[in-house]
Amino acid sequence: MASKGKQFKNILKTKGLHLRPCAYDALSAILIQKAGFKIVGTTGYGISSSLIGQPDMGLIGYHEMLERTRTIINAVDLPVDVDVDTGYGNALNVHWTVQNFARVGAASIRFEDQVWPKRCGHMAGKQVIPSNDMVQKIKAAVKTRDSENPDMAIGARTDARTVTGFDDALNRAKAYAEAGSDYVYVEAPQSLDEVEKLVEKVPVPLAFNVIPGGKTPPFTFEELEERGVRYVSVPMICLYPAAKAMMDALYELKHGRDIRKIAGMGVSWAEFNNLVGVNKWRRLEIESLSEDELNKIYGTSDLTEIIEKELSGTEKVWKK
């Protein structure tokens, strides 16, 4: 089987629009895989908000992102495209970042040309570094990748469109492609004409993202695909609905106090156990324990009976 990096690169080469839903933890990554997607992304905003409860404004750094990324990669079989912010410094920092994210199994990493501390690309007050500095960082990333894991992809993002204008964003995108990026991610193009020019002028696959209420106009996936966009990130697809579901359930607990209604607002005990792989761990447990020990714990040593007791009434998670 091809490495995760090769799988990712092959997807980028395939015609059509490829969606990258983003995970903020291992569970959301598992759900993305079970939904049938081919790529998992990571979301810096989602990781910052779920890890420390604070916005994406450079308040968490290299170590926190590396550890959360490791748990996401370990949870799924899909290639994971990792948000590494700005690479956490200059070209030397990028070398260290690429080296260590490669070692935890990232299929791809992407970093941006913002000044550190950075902020979410849809927030006001961003600043960008000189394009030549970013080019040097990309070259350092490519060199390190080639020595650590030649299959890993390198993505470069520019935030220049809403800072220094479209022409600068276009020139940066071309320069970043020429420096060796496998794809270029342009934050917040402001019209479909801009999207067309970027696709025409930049010699590698173009990536954009979709955030409801963000700085990018609400382009449809069909409009982007028609213009040749290859790769679209949906960073908040798990985070925002999860936050809304938790708010609704907590409101009901506080004001309605109806446990039956609350139970109907989420998955069941059995469904959740199924999601996180209780069956696998039960099998491993049965393989490691004697028949007497199993009878003592479960009253039976029969795997099917043990699992049925745990997961009786399980419905298909994706059944509508």
How high is the pLDDT of residue 113? 98
Residues 274, 203 within the same domain: no
CA 48 to CA 45: how far, in whole Å? Answer: 5
Do 209 and 187 touch, CB atoms closer than 8 A? yes
What is the predicted pLDDT for the residue at 33? Answer: 98
This prediction has a pTM of 0.93
173 shares a domain with 312 = no
Instruction: Identify the pLDDT of residue 319.
Output: 47
pLDDT at 306: 79
The rounded distance, in Å, linking the Cα atoms of 40 and 21 is 6
Q: How far apart are CA 99 and CA 268, in angstroms?
A: 41
**Cis preceding-peptide flag for 117 (omega within 30 of 0):** yes
Q: Find out whether 234 and 21 touch, Cβ atoms under 8 Å.
A: yes
In-domain check, residue 297: yes
Looking at residue 56, which CATH number applies to its domain? 3.20.20.60
137 and 274 part of one domain: no
Structure confidence at residue 238 as a pLDDT band (50, 70, 90)? very high
- Mean of the pLDDT values across residues 215-229? 94
**Can you give the pLDDT at residue 283?**
86
Q: What is the mean pLDDT of residues 148-175?
A: 97
Q: Whole-number mean pLDDT of the chain?
A: 93
Q: How many domains does the chain have?
A: 2
- Please give the structure tokens belonging to residue 190: 């402001």
* Residue 17 domain boundaries: 4-235
Q: Do 294 and 227 belong to one domain?
A: no
Q: Is the pLDDT of residue 54 over 70?
A: yes
The answer to the question of residue 255 being in a domain is no
Question: SS3 letters for the chain?
Answer: CCCHHHHHHHHHHCCCCEEEEEECCHHHHHHHHHCCCCCEEECHHHHHHHHHCCCCCCCCCHHHHHHHHHHHHHHCCCCEEEECCCCCCCHHHHHHHHHHHHHCCCCEEEEECECCCCCCCCCCCCCECCHHHHHHHHHHHHHHHHHHCCCCEEEEEECCHHHHCHHHHHHHHHHHHHCCCCEEEECCCCCHHHHHHHHHHCCCCEEEECCCCCCCCCCCHHHHHHCCCCEEEECCCCHHHHHHHHHHHHHHHHHHCCHHHHHCCCCCHHHHHHHCCHHHHHHHHHHHCCHHHHHHHHCCCCHHHHHHHHHCCCCCCCCC
84 versus 300: the higher-pLDDT residue is 84
- Mean predicted confidence (pLDDT) in 83-97: 97
pLDDT value of position 312: 57
267: its two tokens:
């998955």
Residues 66 and 106 in one domain: yes
**Does the pLDDT of residue 311 top 70, yes or no?**
no
Q: Is the pLDDT of residue 157 over 70?
A: yes
**What average pLDDT score do residues 7-31 get?**
96
At 61, the pLDDT band (50, 70, 90 cuts) reads very high
Instruction: Please check whether residue 190 lies inside any domain of the structure.
Output: yes
CA nearest neighbour of 208 among 132, 136, 122, 133: 122
| Amino acid, res. 226 | E
Radius of gyration of the chain (CA): 22
Q: For residues 153 and 36, state if they share a domain.
A: yes
pLDDT at 320 over 50: no
Q: What tens digit of pLDDT does each residue of 280-295 get? A: 898 898 889 998 998 8
pLDDT in tens, 254-278: 999 999 999 999 999 889 998 999 8
Amino acid at 39: I
Q: For residue 195, what pLDDT is reported?
A: 97
Is residue 63 situated within a structural domain?
yes
Poorest-pLDDT segment among 43-57, 74-88, 300-314: 300-314
Mean pLDDT of the region 61-87: 98
Q: Is the pLDDT of residue 317 over 50?
A: no
pLDDT at 206: 95
pLDDT score at 13? 92
